[in-house]
Structure 1
Amino acid sequence: MASITSFSVTSFNQTHTLVPGCRISNSSSVFLSTKGRTFSPLTLQRRVPRFQIACAARPETVKKVCDIVKKQLALPDGSSVTGESKFSALGADSLDTVEIVMGLEEEFGISVEEESAQSISTVQDAADMIDELLESKSA
């Protein structure tokens, strides 16, 4: 089995060899050779960047979720809870997380599926899910 310990890079129509036996002749092909044996060129394909559009929850939803989390975990008033706060970092165990979800269901008048509840790890995750459920409920 052959392994590559270096490689070559082509930039501005110049070929640079950084690893013996491997070179990139242009921006779309790689040539490999080892012990005098040359292999068929590998064709490189450019990948189209993928964009993901996500709408963040409304600030008032995030604030309500923060307040509910503070209450359920009995955190002191000076505790900092933000959208990026992870439940585990705030000291919540699995039972606490279930109680938080129940509190959110009661406060917002929603029902959270068990699968959705298991995917929540931050305050922002919970707020995003709540806004999605409220939006689908009103549609």
Structure 2
Amino acid sequence: MAPIAGSALSFAKPVKATNTNLLSFAGGRKGNAFLRMQPMPMRFAVCCSAKKETVEKVCDIVKKQLALPEGTEVSGASKFSDLGADSLDTVEIVMGLEEEFHISVEESSAQSIATVEDAAALIDKLVAAESPKSQC
């Protein structure tokens, strides 16, 4: 592909834009368009992964609530849906977690729980919020 007149960029192969938030087109000379890359604002998220003990307790509760056969592998990455849980099962799991950890999970937070790790991270967050001296 030949470079566009007046541009500093040329590509040997056609380029597919995968993130259009980074691209803008500005008219240069009459009839020519220039492609200009714009920097995307940096966003940093600080999050703590769940404590190992919390993940293990959640795994045990999930196995018990779903009555999973002995030897069924449940880890932090396990999705409740992959373990055969439906929406009612998920509600029962959340209720079991609330009872075990002495916490209260809001409905909006409960709906965002899809994996054991999600549940454990939320539990750690809620427990830390109740006791301001503990940190993750």
| TM-score, normalization by structure 1 | 0.73
Give unpaired runs (5+ residues) of structure 1.
Answer: 1-5, 20-27
Give yes or no for contact 1:31–1:38 (8 Å, CA) kept in 2.
no
User: How far 1:52 moved relative to its partner?
Assistant: 2.6
Structure 2 equivalent of residue 25 of structure 1 = none
Structure (1/2) with the larger strand percentage:
1
How well do the aligned residues superpose, as a CA RMSD in angstroms? 3.0
Q: Choose which of 100, 106, 114 in structure 2 pairs with 1:113.
A: 106
SS at match of 1:125: helix
**Correspondence for 2:48 among 35, 55, 58:** 55
Aligned to 1:41, which of 14, 26, 34? 34
TM-score (norm 2): 0.75
d(CA) in 2 for partners of 1:83, 1:32: 51
Tell whether the 8 Å contact from 1:8 to 1:17 is kept in structure 2 after alignment.
no
Offset of residue 30 of structure 1: 6.7
Q: Which amino acid aligns with 1:121?
A: A
Greater helix content: 2
Kindly report which structure 2 residues correspond to 1:1-139, keeping only aligned pairs within 5 A, or say none: 15-16=10-11, 18=13, 38-139=31-132
C-alpha separation in 2, matches of 1:104 and 1:16? 55
Q: Aligned pairs, how many? A: 120
Are the equivalent residues in 2 in contact too, given 1:7–1:18 (CA < 8 A)?
A: no
Deviation at 1:40, TM superposition (A): 4.5
Q: CA deviation at 1:127?
A: 0.2
AA matched with 1:38: G
For 2:63, the aligned partner's letter is K
Contiguous gaps of at least 5 residues in structure 2: 15-22
